Structure 1
Amino acid sequence: MKVLIGKEERNRVLAIEEDHFYDLKAKQIAPSKLSQSVSAFANAAGGEIFIGIQESQKGATKERTWDGFADVEEANRFLQMLNQVAPLADFISTTFLECEDETGLVLKIEILKNAAITKSTDGIAYVRKGAQKLPVDTDEAFEKLRLDKGISSYETYKVNASLDVIENSSVTLGFLMGVVPIAEPEPWLRKQQLIVDDSPTVCGTLLFAEEPQALLPKRTAVKIFRYKTVEKEPSRDHLAFDPITVEGWAYKLIYDAVAKTQEIVEEIKKLGESSLVDIQYPAETLHEIITNAILHRDYSIATDVQVRIFDNRIEVESPGRFAGHITRENVLHSQFARNQQLVRLINKFPNPPNKDVGEGLNTAFDAMRKLRLHDPIIEEQQSSVLVTIPHQKLASPEELVMEFLESNPEITNREARVICGVRSENSMKSVFKRLQKRGMIEQVPNRSRFKAAWRKVQS
């Protein structure tokens, strides 16, 4: 497909910073060499490659120019290479870009995140790290790639422990009393593939060991932090108390972590007698997001799930990036379970924490909207997924300030920033100035700069 772009779009292409998601290549590159970049993007988070951009060094600066293919046929060797490394792939698309007054066609290759492992023409798989492509050339690295893709799951790995830890645990015996027909522990555990070579698996340990933290340290706990601040980067001085560690088998861990989070949140309903806002988060939102963080985390990473409670938000960080084809853009509409056994079997417990399998995040978003709060924010980080639950109403900062002053005599810049979700003191001052210009508020007289506050205009 050919697409005509304007000079502004051309300039954006020429100015692209090569990073984890973008790469620019001259048309002279060998298809075999380019296949390594295609493999690297396909095995990471996806990305875009533009072929037909010439780069030259002029002193300390690099200069780029448009130097495309004379016609589509000239790029056939690259199209043939794509078909070789990923035949019939639905995650790779190509577009030819042409621009008036520029020479030739630039080939744009767009690669989406996907659940397959793609190798280059030399038979080696690569992964994209920043602006580099790194070969996956050891058994350990290849297995890590399989885990990242969701092709393998750490839940199936064996744990170096006696079968007794799951076969005769009170969790297993209690659970099997509710199975129809009632089953004996060992045959049932083997049937569910929770025992391999007379050893419990990670999944079996997570679900049925009374103290899984003793066998899988740093993988079976939730750390809860309470920071008395709205700052994006808190310090230890902002901690209200030492972090709380919640431990236990997966079912207990979920319910205990949610309950402890709710308990802490309820203790900060109001920030002082002058009353900011009630710190209320929908119970469904906390439950679904914490459940998701525990069930879908990457158990190969020895890091606990973290719940961080701030004055104006809650952050839930789950170890591991999105698995398979899941991205931040499609996470609410697509399904892919990294830990399929764990998700399936915990759903068999009484009052399962994942009642609506695959719908948990949608439930969390709906609950926030019912309270007219902003949607949770989902971000994929270098080795984790972070969900931020903001306590910020769906209203303009001006509306929120005036709503606060309906029931309070005055408001400070700090209070207003918490209510409005604004981090900058100067940005909040601009809101006050706009309201002052409209004759709606005024500064409280006879106050020092450090105790400045605003109130409704006195009649």
Structure 2
Amino acid sequence: MIDIKKITPDDAQKIKYLDEGHFLDLKSKDIRPAKLTETISAFANTSAGEIYIGIEENDILTLKDRCWNGFNDMEEANAILQTVEELSPLGNHYSAIFYEADDQQGLVLHLTIYKTNKILRASNRKVYIRRGAQKLPIDSAEALKRLEYDKGITTFEDDLLSIPSDYITNSIVTLGFMIDVVPMSEPDPWLRNQLVLIDGKPTVAGVLLFAEEPQAILPKRSAIKVYRYYTANEEGERDTLAFDPITIEGHLYLLIESAKNRVKEIVEKIQKLGPDGLENVLYPEEALQEIITNAVIHRDYSIPRDVHIRIFDNRIEIESPGRLPGHITIANILDDQSARNPKIIRLINKFPNPPNKDVGEGLKTAFEAMSKLRLKKPEITETESSVLVILRRESLASPEQMVMEYLQGHEEITNAVARQLTGIKSENTMKDVFYRLKDRNEIEQVPGKAGRSSAWRKPK
């Protein structure tokens, strides 16, 4: 028997305007059951998710709005529930509950879809996966083989820990988190429903996300170590260590934010010689955020080692325990996904302003942020037991340097060619580069060429 839970009008409003994405979808109660199973297949085969059935989207002139239009009674949803149940022999791929609220029409059915150990096919026998807010069919033997490989991996995040349940049910973290959960719920049943509290025992994922001090329960595998070396050498040595390594602790949401802020604080004190003297070193905050987030939520927690962040004069190294999961390689890491810790990834996404807001796009964001500052792309390498990401404070060469290097092998350079080399889009910005070089007597304008034909050369 599926329960009916009454929620407040405020919670009903929150449900109506939830953002659809990688872990959540809103559907009309009139959706065909067979069509719904495609979304269920996608969630079950990827990183799990939630579906609210009974939310309509109305077009009002050019505006879009949503309304609560639920089932008149539980029996009206029988066709959907029966179809969902038939997808798996054991029927353990989902949980369901109905919500009702004052001043709202009918019952909204909330399905929580779990990531299954086996491949879950839709009613049409096709296999789907979730990418962002889309469900995508698996239509090649190679892709299906990759999915099978991913599903054969057992994740350490599901291991049970022999500690009292109130480490997570009654923690400050959980109590504060539940205030923002939609709809409002009690910690114990909610944590059990999310499968981070099983048979009265917290899982590794539950402790990492909701315990006040996960490091006391999972030592040597749940903190971040930060180092600062006064060197640009390939290896950091003890005599170049600026201070004793800093250990950052806390539940994962706090851990990521604290680490980012501490690294940013240390980096902002570093200076380098620039065209006008000493200037502060800058790394894009988005790149730091995304790579630290990835290092924490995608790491292998079965390995008893912390995440290490090493700050050098010319680079930042972020090392995360565990090799790349599943079928992910250095070649496809920007275009493909494999969730080693799907519960951690999904549940941390529920926190306010989650660190993994754009699921699956984190590394792309880091690459784009470095490119905007005309810095070299992040370097990703795989060691025997870890993944290492390096953010180098090395320009793709400054525009001035790129111009001069070009003129070492060419007689002259035009504005158009220089913009292609440097990535500068503005013609006037490129002119400023030429004028700065001219002021230093590095280049001169080619006589007899003006307008669009104007060019620059080394002084004769």
TM-score (norm 2): 0.55
Counterpart of 1:223? 225
Shift of 1:197: 2.1
**Counterpart of 1:161?**
163
- Structure 1 position 241 matched with structure 2 position 243: yes
Q: Output aligned runs, 1:207-222, within 5 Å.
A: 207-222=209-224
| 1-structure distance, mates of 2:402, 2:275 | 18
Q: Structure 2: how far apart are the matches of 1:176 and 1:150?
A: 33
Q: Which residue of 1 aligns with 2:361?
A: 359
Separation in 2, partners of 1:179, 1:362:
29
Tell whether 2:268 aligns with 1:266. Answer: yes
- Contact 2:269 2:280 (8 Å CA) reproduced: no
Contact 1:207 1:342 (8 Å CA) reproduced: yes
2:183 aligns to what? 181
Whole-angstrom distance in 1 between the partners of 2:237 and 2:147: 38
| Cα distance, 1:219 vs structure 2 | 1.4
Query: Match for residue 379 of structure 1?
Result: 381
Q: CA deviation at 1:277?
A: 4.8
Task: Report the counterpart of residue 196 of structure 1 in structure 2.
Answer: 198
Check whether the contact 1:223–1:304 (CA below 8 A) recurs between aligned residues. Answer: yes
Mapped to 2, the partners of 1:180 and 1:225 lie a distance apart of 39
Pick one of 336, 350, 373 that aligns with 1:334: 336
Partners in 1 of 2:368 and 2:275 — Cα distance? 31
1: CA distance, partners of 2:302 / 2:358: 26
1:409-428, aligned counterparts within 5 Å?
none
Matching residue within 299, 312, 315 for 2:301: 299
Pair 1:217–1:263, CA change in 2 (3 A) = same
Q: In structure 2, do the counterparts of structure 1 residues 116 and 277 end up closer, same or farther at CA, with 3 Å as the change threshold? A: farther
Q: TM-score, normalised by structure 1?
A: 0.55
- Three-state SS of the structure 1 residue aligned to 2:277 is coil
RMSD of aligned Cα (Å) = 3.0
CA–CA separation in structure 1 for the residues paired with 2:155 and 2:338: 12
1:309 aligns with 2:361: no
- In structure 1, how many angstroms separate the alpha carbons of the residues matched to 2:281 and 2:341? 33
Give, in whole Å, the separation in 2 of the partners of 1:386 and 1:269.
25
Q: Which residue of 1 aligns with 2:121?
A: none
Specify the code of the residue in structure 2 equivalent to 1:357: V
Distance in 1 (CA, whole Å) between partners of 2:378 and 2:274 is: 26
Deviations 1:235-270 (A, max 9, x none): 111101110000000000000000000000011134
Select 1:287's aligned residue among 265, 286, 289. 289
Matches within 5 A, 1:22-101: 90=142
Unmatched 5+ residue regions in structure 2? Answer: 1-139, 406-440, 444-457
Identical positions, percent: 59
Name the CA shift for 1:115/1:275 in 2 (closer, same or farther; >3 Å).
Answer: farther
Q: CA deviation at 1:276?
A: 4.8
| Cα deviation code 1:46-84 (max 9, x no counterpart) | xxxxxxxxxxxxxxxxxxxxxxxxxxxxxxxxxxxxxxx
Distance, in Å, in 2 between the alignment partners of 1:297 and 1:196 is 23
Q: Which amino acid aligns with 1:301?
A: I
- 2:167 is paired with a residue whose SS is helix
Separation in 2, partners of 1:268, 1:396? 19
Which of 350, 369, 372 matches 1:348? 350
Kindly indicate whether the alpha-carbon contact (under 8 Å) linking 2:225 and 2:307 is maintained by their aligned counterparts in 1. Answer: yes
Seen in structure 2, the aligned counterparts of structure 1 residues 206 and 361 have a Cα distance that, compared at 3 Å, is same
Distance 2:385 2:359 in 1: 24
In structure 1, give the amino acid aligned to 2:261. A
Query: Does structure 2 conserve the Cα–Cα contact (< 8 Å) formed by 1:115 and 1:151?
Result: no
**In structure 2, C-alpha distance between the alignment counterparts of 1:244 and 1:204, rounded to whole Å:** 25
- Work out whether residues 315 and 391 of structure 2, in 8 Å CA contact, stay in contact via their aligned partners in 1: yes
Structure 1: give runs of 5+ residues left out of the alignment: 1-87, 93-112, 118-145, 404-438, 442-456
Tell me, what secondary structure is at the counterpart of 2:347? helix
The aligned amino acid for 1:261 is V
Aligned length: 272
Q: How far is the alpha carbon of 1:218 from its aligned partner?
A: 1.0
